[in-house]
Homo-oligomer: A and B are copies of this chain.
Amino acid sequence: LIAEGRALRPNDFVGEPEPAVPHSIESCPFCRGNEHATPHELALVNDDQGNWLVRVVPNKYPAVDLASGGREPPAGLAACASDARDLRPPLACEPARGVHEVIIESPRHVRDWTELSSEELATVLRVFRDRIEHAYKAHQMRSALIFKNVGQAAGASLEHVHTQLMALPCVPEVLMREVQIAADHQERTGKCLMCELISDELRQGTRLIAENERFAAIAAYAGRQPYEIWVVPKQHASSFTQLGEEESQRLAAILGETLSLLHSVLAPLASAGDLRPPLAYNVVLHTAPVGEARFAAFHWHWELIPRTTSLAGFEWGTGMFINPVSPERAAIRLRALKSGEKLPIQ
């Protein structure tokens, strides 16, 4: 996605060091009282007094938008307008269509989901569900990605708790491959691959970190980063748009619990004081695209990816990842923290 409008984001401009994230409510565009600093909201959840609890706004610096012919280049950037792109085969290029929204998850200036109540997080999860559904229905998008960047090393430019929705008229590569593998497995065995995996993980327990009636959190068998965790529904469901009320509460509980464990294990050196541990991580929802029957073989899940190691040339050149902490060891350490045991080694 060539998205020159994003170069206008002061935090994102190449070559400049990222400024410190704002700590004061006055300068934060996502805090209550500063609603004028963001575009007009697309959706709101209010409390009984009419104060907003969750606010959905268009991304002010979108990587994709709904203009079918691409949008005007920002003032001063006309020299490389998208119509100047060379399109002779084998080169190809098309307007970057899609939906790019920001979900502001609390009016309070807090930094991540561990600072929301379980009820607040459940509300946020239902907003995700509804915005995905809206992108599919109102804008004919085929896939939707919910992703959260916490910490500068994970790509965040603002500290205030928020998540992004990107919905696209296509199915991106990573999701399409997962869907294809799920569909192939279903066709070959009649079963859901993720249902089999999660049932094995629950029976064996080696990589199990937390579970409740509805969900399991496991250290990913082939985790790309140390302490990569997947949170998976125990019962088959292809799309996050199917999330029920009670499920949203159970999911909020296990996501909050798992993130708290990650904070504890990964930030033992954080200085005491007001600052939270400087854990950087991404959280990404994988949910079925729409439009084909075989997509029902997919099994939605969340991926929690702590960003403790830098991606290097090896990863760029191979698509493989080097993980210095086995998922089995990660699970041992996370479970030990949960039960208040002392860490087994180191």
Contact = CB atoms under 8 A, between A and B. Distances in A.
Interface string A293-311: 0000000000101101111
Contact of A196 (B90, B172, B318, B326): B90
A36 B285 CA distance: 48
Contact of A314 (B9, B164, B286): B164
Given A88-B200, A310-B153, A324-B6, A14 B227 contact: yes
B310 A305 contact: no
Given A14-B226, A322-B6, A346-B76, A90 B314 contact: no
The number of times this chain is found in the oligomer is: 2
Contact of A319 (B2, B84, B174, B226): B174
Given A145-B314, A323-B2, A193 B79 contact: no
Contacts of A332: 79-80
Given A164-B314, A313-B147, A4 B173 contact: no
Contact of A77 (B2, B155, B204, B345): B345
6 contacts: A1-B321, A14-B227, A15-B269, A156-B312, A174-B318, A284-B316
Interface of A: 1-7, 9, 12-17, 63, 76-77, 79-80, 82, 84-86, 88, 90-91, 145, 147-149, 152-156, 164, 166, 172-175, 185, 193, 196-197, 200, 204, 206, 221-222, 226-227, 265-269, 282-286, 303, 305-306, 308-329, 332, 344-346
